[in-house]
Amino acid sequence: MPIHQPFSFRRSLALALFLLAIPVAAQAATPAETFIQDNVQKGLAILKDSSLSTDARRTQFQSFLESLTDIHRIAVFTLGAAAKSAPPADVDAFAEAFRGYAAAVYQDQLAHYSGQTLKVTGSIQRAPGDFVVQTVVLEPAGGQAGDEVDFRVSDSGGKLQVIDASVAGVWLALQERDQFTAFLAQHNNDVKALAADLVSRAAAIRAGSTRN
């Protein structure tokens, strides 16, 4: 059976990834803040480039997503204990399915963009190389502030990447891990089944986007 939760994996992941495309409207003060400010606009530019074919846009976006976020690290984290017990080949296949699903969700959500911006409000260093960049969503009419969106940024030898996002206080990778754990518990801890479910969902999302 597919994954179903009141606040679904698709909705939470979509919101996190979609917000990464919103232009940031603040002067950055730290390397982590600069990283968020400088990169969040690139995804939107790719997906709005009408000169690209659907396949070319998808390919360029996935390259962008992989440069901005540590997708493999996030995918392995969301598997929880199964990441250690499953065959490495199955874990790698799941990470690839996760990558494709993330890209499909992001592209599907682009249609809902209506001029919002993100305002960087600060950042916190949790530990060496581990930062949380704090932002709020501003609506286009009057700049009214909405949800707080925080991005967890990892700095590994000067390479910065997003490894999680928090929307209104909910850390999405943690939520996804809970949902995947529940799915695996119902499917004999079969990571292949989870990967297949994500592949199927990505295909359905792309088919729906094409029809729209």
Domain chopping of the chain, boundaries: 9-211
Helices and strands per DSSP (H, E), number in the chain: 8, 5
**What are the per-10-residue average pLDDT scores of the chain (212 residues)?**
45 56 60 82 71 82 79 91 95 93 74 67 93 85 73 91 84 89 95 96 81 57
Rounded distance between C-alpha atoms, residue 22 and residue 117, angstroms: 5
Token pair recorded at residue 124? 């916190």
What confidence score (pLDDT) does residue 171 get? 87
Which residue, chain included where needed, has tokens 């260093």? 125
What confidence score (pLDDT) does residue 1 get? 46
What confidence score (pLDDT) does residue 123 get? 93
What confidence score (pLDDT) does residue 5 get? 42
What confidence score (pLDDT) does residue 9 get? 46
Which residue, chain included where needed, has tokens 């494709």? 100
Pick the CATH number of 9-211 from 2.60.40.10, 3.40.50.150, 3.10.450.710, 1.10.10.10: 3.10.450.710
What confidence score (pLDDT) does residue 61 get? 74
What confidence score (pLDDT) does residue 211 get? 59
Beta strands in the chain (DSSP E): 117-127, 130-138, 145-156, 159-167, 170-171
Which residue, chain included where needed, has tokens 């996002």? 165
